[in-house]
Amino acid sequence: MKLLPVLLLAVLQITAVRAAVILDTGAITFSATGTQFGRISRNGVSSTWGSVKDFPGVTGAPTARGYEIFTINNGGLPFLQISLDDPTTGLFVSAYLDSFNPVNVGPLYGLDVNYLGDPGLSQPVGVPSFFQIQVPLNSQIVIPINEVNSGAGAGRPFDLVVEGFYDANYSEVPEPGSLALFAAGVAAMSVMRARARR
């Protein structure tokens, strides 16, 4: 029975596993890497795994706004949740499949091409904005963060986090170490039972 605590510990470790964090920028400041014309309209509808959000349109065009790009590969995790913690509420986040190529030609200025989703609103004060997208395995996801107001983004602090899940039920990613520990506990318990039967 000495191995029972090992088995229980393994089970507890497995159940405590969190989502796979694909990207966490930590606290950094906005530094534009490109220019887009206009910005995505905030229509109040957040992208979710349960439904595909149509591109909400463009507002403020053709005024130029800076954007900063982050690119990830989702690997084997098709369900992504993207969070932007922007305490100054001066930035907006969205996601694109494979590429983000804004152009200076209306009416949508390229902001609709390869569009996957956005949070629908700027961050409520004190609460990060977030949205969800579902993408094919091993996809390249491009995440631009753009200025809400032209020229007002430089130096604004933010933290971008992308988490991955196996399914829409927030199924978590098992840690290899926890699975190995669990398997070792099961094997040890089997050996112990076999010896007790002798």
**Paired residues of 156 in beta bridges:** none
pLDDT tens for 93-104 read 999 999 999 998
List domains and CATH numbers for the chain. Answer: 19-171 (2.60.120.380)
Of 186 and 23, the one with more pLDDT: 23
- The Cα 115–Cα 1 span in angstroms is 56
Residues contacting residue 192 through CB under 8 Å, at least 6 positions apart: 1, 3
Find the DSSP H helices in 49-175. none
DSSP reduced 3-state for 73: strand
pLDDT tens across 49-78, in order? 988 899 999 999 999 999 999 999 999 999
Residue 190, pLDDT > 80, answer: no
CA atoms within 13 A on the CB side of 171: 8
Highest mean pLDDT of the ranges 44-53, 120-129, 185-194: 44-53
- The residue whose two tokens read 């088995």 is 7
Tokens 């020229």 -> residue: 151
Angstrom distance (rounded) from CA 10 to CA 12? 5
pTM (two decimals) = 0.78
Is residue 72 left, alpha or beta, with left meaning phi > 0 and alpha meaning psi from -120 to 50? Answer: beta
